[in-house]
Structure 1
């Protein structure tokens, strides 16, 4: 799920898997993954094709203070391949006016916490101060994605991410978050917002909120804090009385912030760990989100393959089919998304997804800004075959088309059986440059 800085993220799956969503079943849970509906590499499924060997890394235990469990399953309304965690939101300065919110999507392709306002109780919602700009007007945000947007106020809250043992991490202070859908649809600005569909409800979003934990510390950066660029490109708006919203210049400390970067410790990055799953899908999968890289005994970087990136986690010199592409690891995408005319599309039944007649293998050469390169092979099965089991929600070989040929989205299928690393951009304070990695 990519925000305004690099709006190449595709979430067409919201329409494409509607048939799956409407017949959701209770997902199995526990362990590293749920049951699969058929054999891993049956000849009928491959249909004369082949898939690359699947990675085999297992997640570490999610019992340490710097870890929380990730669940891929039926979720709020049965959308496939959505990894979720539980997040606790507290009123600033309070340890009692708090609420645990389940089914928050883990999104390494965006930055900052966004919560659908309707899932918050009124006591907490009323205690979250609405941010304001210099004029005193309410501050709102239109976070735009390739297929839609979220619209709502910017408020401050203390954010906790705790595991099942009750331990976890808490932001050092209250930070800016977005409350999705707490402003009327009539207030959406006609200029600078509203491209695509509004995703301001749980059913539209497919989750109760989004936890953006990619490499950037804020969701817009200098684009929105510099007047000369903010006037045309800011995704923040000044709304006097909650209406008549116009673009606003917003300093970094008022922008929606990456919560993990604001923890007192373990704040230099994250590791997303998911177990291997069957090539024909599983009902669920359980992994681990680890806070910090190289800060504890359970979050060492070695022996990962790492790539220096731009500030938003993109590997801009990667190559697919002889074309230079912007590649990125995005847990907020529920499939691989890339352009390849040699792979058959599904048609109107699952629009935008690939439906090859036989199993396919494709390779991309990833290239970091530090000149590190590595070839990665991915497997692709027909979406119509995978979606044939309506009780499965975890898939490692689902792929779809992306507009244009300049981007390659390594979505959630890439994460199964791997540990994927995101080193935060700390260069503004003389710290590490952003990077991603995996093993």
Structure 2
């Protein structure tokens, strides 16, 4: 999740669920987690034209709780296409980012975006590192939906030493499927693009975009919204006002593979109606809501791009060794967070809805051979000022994300479950 949009969510990529071989933290991008209305999803029914099957399994790097779909990328207006599997579904980022190695068959046919004759690239900054690569134009197809002429980011196709300023002056590069834990990231959150006015006007020093003459010597630049990495859902012909992520419930020990459904559009077809019984929370432009946790005010968000619950609780013991980012209580425990609609003028969520997070021993969970886990939780350290309701929350829930259409006189963004 771009720091331009103040994203805080996390993916701790545990490579080798059976052996806890490596843990790296990426700030990007569940039957036992939470309450609320809306039933769990099922992958048993073939998806309709506005639906895609979501799979949580071993993926490309044996990382727990990575929901993925297949995305077809085409040279604009042509049949020169490649279908890329194992693209992570991320409800707290905005736009499509694909590793260059995963799109090698079509990459040479995708036009490069430019600013004043210089190649356009982006540094998408996360808490501990960044993705870096060119902006290109593609026709993007997901199931029966198409976003034509969509600006996307190709990760890892630019010289690594070309970007040395701004948010990308420190931290680790995450340029490959091995580093990302997936072949790419499909950001389908509530924002229509990944930077908006911050990168279109004002100071170039606040922009995540770079102008790169001859593909090198890159400098930060302002860029029109039309050239920014764009949420593909906002460009669909009809089902363009939001998404619904529905996953089945699983047991506390988890499952090796789980399938659910990503549905495009809300109240646009018979299969995407928003029930009157759901809890609906207005969010800010980036999907955040008000929350209260451990007796204090905080921000929260619902993020399929995080593979665990993330929050700070000094009373919970961390695991040791490579899994030290996760919590390892002796037995399963719970923590509550109250959530309410976003209100910039108030703090916390007094009288809000209480959600319960189930927390198991991560060292044990990550060695049981299962990749779908509904009680995996971790911490980003004592400086964290948010509760990240990550992928564990989604098991057993149907979660609705209403697109921010306020800029064109439409509805405000929301999340419902």
* Match 1:222 to one of 197, 204, 213: 197
Which TM-score applies when normalising by structure 2?
0.91
Q: Output one character per residue of 1:154-176: Cα deviation in whole Å (capped at 9) or x when no partner.
A: 000000001xxxxx1011x2110
* Match 2:184 to one of 209, 228, 233: 209
* Match 1:297 to one of 238, 245, 270: 270
Residue matched to 2:25: none
Q: Which runs of 5+ in 2 are unaligned?
A: 22-29, 344-348
* Match 2:130 to one of 145, 149, 159: 149
8 Å CA contact 1:7–1:144 kept in 2: the answer is: no
8 Å CA contact 2:283–2:341 kept in 1: the answer is: yes
* Moved segments of 4+, more than 4 Å: 21-24, 50-56
Q: Output one character per residue of 1:62-98: Cα deviation in whole Å (capped at 9) or x when no partner.
A: 421111100000001211100000000000111x201
1:194 is displaced (CA, Å) by 4.2
Matched, 1:177 2:152: yes
Residue matched to 2:333: 360
8 Å CA contact 2:281–2:416 kept in 1: the answer is: yes
- Give distance in 1, aligned partners of 2:165 and 2:407: 34
- Give distance in 1, aligned partners of 2:19 and 2:377: 21
- Give distance in 2, aligned partners of 1:259 and 1:86: 14
RMSD: 2.2
* Match 2:218 to one of 245, 253, 266: 245
**Pair 267,21 (structure 1): closer, same or farther in 2 beyond 3 Å:** farther
Residue matched to 2:168: 193
- Give distance in 2, aligned partners of 1:299 and 1:104: 23
* Match 2:385 to one of 384, 396, 406: 406
* Match 1:69 to one of 41, 53, 69: 53
1:147 is displaced (CA, Å) by 2.2
Aligned pairs for 1:90-129 within 5 A: 90-94=74-78, 96-122=79-105, 124-129=106-111
8 Å CA contact 1:130–1:139 kept in 2: the answer is: yes
Residue matched to 1:232: 205
- Give distance in 2, aligned partners of 1:387 and 1:297: 39
* Match 1:257 to one of 230, 234, 243: 230
8 Å CA contact 2:196–2:225 kept in 1: the answer is: yes
SS at match of 1:293: coil
Residue matched to 2:320: 347
8 Å CA contact 1:142–1:235 kept in 2: the answer is: yes
Residue matched to 1:379: 358
The count of residues paired between Structure 1 and Structure 2 equals: 399
- Give distance in 2, aligned partners of 1:51 and 1:10: 17
Residue matched to 1:29: none
SS at match of 1:9: coil
Q: Output one character per residue of 1:284-324: Cα deviation in whole Å (capped at 9) or x when no partner.
A: 10000000011111111112111001000001x21101111
- Give distance in 2, aligned partners of 1:364 and 1:140: 39
1:185 is displaced (CA, Å) by 0.9
8 Å CA contact 1:87–1:101 kept in 2: the answer is: yes
Q: Output one character per residue of 1:393-431: Cα deviation in whole Å (capped at 9) or x when no partner.
A: 000000000232411000000000000111000011100
Q: Which runs of 5+ in 1 are unaligned?
A: 25-32, 34-39, 41-49, 163-167
Matched, 1:18 2:15: yes
